[in-house]
Amino acid sequence: MSDTKQGNPNIKKSNQRWQSDVIVDLIKQYGFPYISLNPGASFRGLHDSLVNYGENQPPMLLCNHEKIAVQIAHGYAKASGRPMMAIVHDVVGLLHAPMRIYYAYIDRCPVFIVGATGPMDEKYRRPFIDWIHTAFAQGDVVRNFTKWDYQPGSIHGVPDSFARAYSIMMSEPQGPIYMCYDSAMQEGPLKEDVPLPPDSAVKVPSRIAPEAAAIEQAADMLTEASNPLLLTEYAARMPIGFESTVELAETVGAAVFDINKRLGFPNRHPLSVSFHAAAFKGVDVVAALDVVDWTRGSHKLNTQTREITVVTTPDCKWIDVGFADIEISKWATDYNKHHNWNLRVLGDSALTVPALIAACRKRVDGNKTLASRIEERKKAIGERHAHQWQKWQDQVKEQWNERPMTESRLAHEVWQVIKDEDWVLTANTLKEWVHKVWDFDKPYRHAGRELGTGTQIGMSIGVALAHKGNGRLVVDLQPDGDLMFDLGALWMPVKYDIPMLVVMYNNRAYYNDWAHQIHMAHQRGTDPARAHIGMDLEAPPPDFAHIAKGIGWYAEGPIDNPAEVGPALRRSIEQVKAGKPALVDTIVWRRGENV
């Protein structure tokens, strides 16, 4: 049994220990910072232990939906590199959460999900309710998109399985796990000592190191290339990987294309070619650093016909650095199309990239010809970068007077206000216009690009929670369709004093699907003017500022004059710096109407 001491004399303690106390001891031992949850009777024993035996440390965050609980933990992990715990109520609560668990899984985010079941021993089941709250192999609901799930048969299996779950969750590639605790077990008295893992026990194994010969071969390919490119997706994850990718690029004189599942490379660096239309033109070696979406940038899609064109030359060589097919899904095809790699280096990029830097430097040092060629290449890439950057700025000016404002104008208006702040962007990128206008100069500036609709507000709150108290301005460019899924989530930043600035990216539509219907209309010869049916968020348009005010936010809008955006943002930032969440509703051009 843990020797954890609970020290608040004002809290009435039970005269005896309960089995759910052991779970609380483990939660404390493993250092979880918060627990997000929507309450449920199936874990009432654990809840009481958390509140009274554990003295609400770590703090519980009441969420108004299980999916929000998981999303907050997801966003927190992306921004901090530390896992949170999310608790969901037996069968019905678990069934609310799967989509958000799936996104955490494909986004490689560690979330420790705790669930519960009605008593497996029928003797202790309440009539009816405990029967519908009990399922055989409850973890089967999420088994296809968690790294592991387990339901211990008694309190004796809890410490061992908890330790194993944490290790599996945190081992790369990371992902969510699900632990299910019998409600009768939780509520039973603790009649004997149940040893916890000793503090000296290793919680997570060491990283996977690459084979030395593979590193040497990769170094040869990169240093002998005429025009190498680094493609990065998960090599950077807080708090590691950002600087080493910069160092490798500068060592070999390689251009870098950042897919932006995490912020992997500074967008204003002269070697950045992210989102350049011709980024892969003439490339003869691509080194993919922990990449799943290896087609990003190197393949062009005809959105009407689904025809794919490969941009790279037929003789381009490809190097895979990462986890290859480790943890490949047996259910969803999130692993992407198979690629015929020329070299695969199996290993954690946190170890592989520094090893590759050292190997490349050995080849460059003392080789004046190679060093000169690298410097010339860096200069040429830098000139391409500067030309493309200026082209984007010119596009902002060309679209300046559009009404409603374009994504580029909104990105510009927000940047003018926040650029002197220590800012953090949560998820949405305004169709990448923030990367074409803002300066992402530090690894914490962005947790990574958005995922699917119905995920962003919860993840953004998690990112804001991770940065709470450090003085940084957290900015959420919040799509309107996404927020309509989860308007109740706005309640949490007020209740738990989580300061953040929400700037509504409000085009009053599910515009992405609207654009798809326009593609269909063009392909089939139907009327594109009818593409809005079943897509628009008008008649009536939601008044997000009014809704936010009703929950306790400072809010302004809707604003359709871009000249009014800056002043509204400055007033709102004053409120955020005072510890209050603030929302500015801005109306943005509907790109789908012009596709």
Label residue 557 by pLDDT band (50, 70, 90).
Answer: very high
Distance of CA 571 to the CA centre of its chain: 29
Q: Looking at residue 240, what DSSP letter applies?
A: B
Mean pLDDT for 511-525 is 85
Q: Read off the tokens for 29.
A: 């031992």
Q: Which residues contact 27 (CB under 8 A, 6 or more apart)?
A: 35, 50, 54, 58, 85
**5 pLDDT above the threshold of 70:** no
**Residues 538, 543, 548, 550: is their CA dihedral positive or negative?**
negative
**453 pLDDT above the threshold of 90:** no
Mean pLDDT for 436-445 is 98
pLDDT digits (tens, 9 = 90+) for 382-392: 999 999 999 99
User: Quick check: do 19-187 and 399-594 share a fold?
Assistant: yes
Q: What is the pLDDT of residue 2?
A: 38
Mean pLDDT for 458-477 is 98
Label residue 86 by pLDDT band (50, 70, 90).
Answer: very high
Q: What is the pLDDT of residue 301?
A: 80
Q: What is the pLDDT of residue 156?
A: 97
Mean pLDDT for 255-279 is 96
Q: What is the pLDDT of residue 3?
A: 40
Give the position of tokens 């308007």.
487
pLDDT digits (tens, 9 = 90+) for 303-354: 778 888 888 888 999 999 999 988 888 888 888 888 999 999 999 999 999 9
C-alpha closest to that of 219 among 319, 119, 301: 319
Q: What is the pLDDT of residue 146?
A: 97
**Residues 187, 190, 195, 200: is their CA dihedral positive or negative?**
positive
More confident residue, 532 or 369: 369
Domain residue ranges of the chain, discontinuous segments joined by + = 19-187, 212-329+337-389, 399-594
CB atoms within 10 A of CB 410: 26
Q: Read off the tokens for 191.
A: 């009649």
CA distance 252 to 384: 17
Q: Side chain identity at 171, as an amino acid letter? A: S
Q: What is the pLDDT of residue 591?
A: 62
pLDDT digits (tens, 9 = 90+) for 561-579: 999 999 999 999 999 999 9
Rounded to 10°, the helix 368-398/407-418 angle is 110
DSSP string, 486-532: -GGGGHHHHHTT---EEEEEE-SB-HHHHHHHHHHHHHHT--GGGTT
**6 pLDDT above the threshold of 60:** no
**448 pLDDT above the threshold of 60:** yes
Three-state secondary structure readout of 79-93: HHCCCEEEECCHHHH
Could you confirm whether domain 399-594 is CATH 3.40.50.150? no
- Judge whether 580 and 519 are in contact, CB under 8 Å: no
pLDDT digits (tens, 9 = 90+) for 122-168: 999 999 989 888 898 999 999 999 999 999 999 999 999 999 999 99
CA distance 498 to 415: 22
Q: Which residues contact 135 (CB under 8 A, 6 or more apart)?
A: 90, 91, 117, 141
Q: What is the pLDDT of residue 123?
A: 92
Q: What is the pLDDT of residue 592?
A: 44
Q: Read off the tokens for 240.
A: 């590691």
Label residue 11 by pLDDT band (50, 70, 90).
Answer: confident
CA distance 477 to 571: 17
Label residue 595 by pLDDT band (50, 70, 90).
Answer: very low
CB atoms within 10 A of CB 195: 11
CA distance 328 to 319: 19
Label residue 420 by pLDDT band (50, 70, 90).
Answer: very high
For domain 19-187, give its CATH number from 1.20.1510.10, 3.30.70.2190, 3.40.50.970, 3.90.1150.10.
3.40.50.970
In CATH terms, the superfamily for domain 212-329+337-389 is: TPP-binding domain (3.40.50.1220)
CA distance 518 to 533: 11
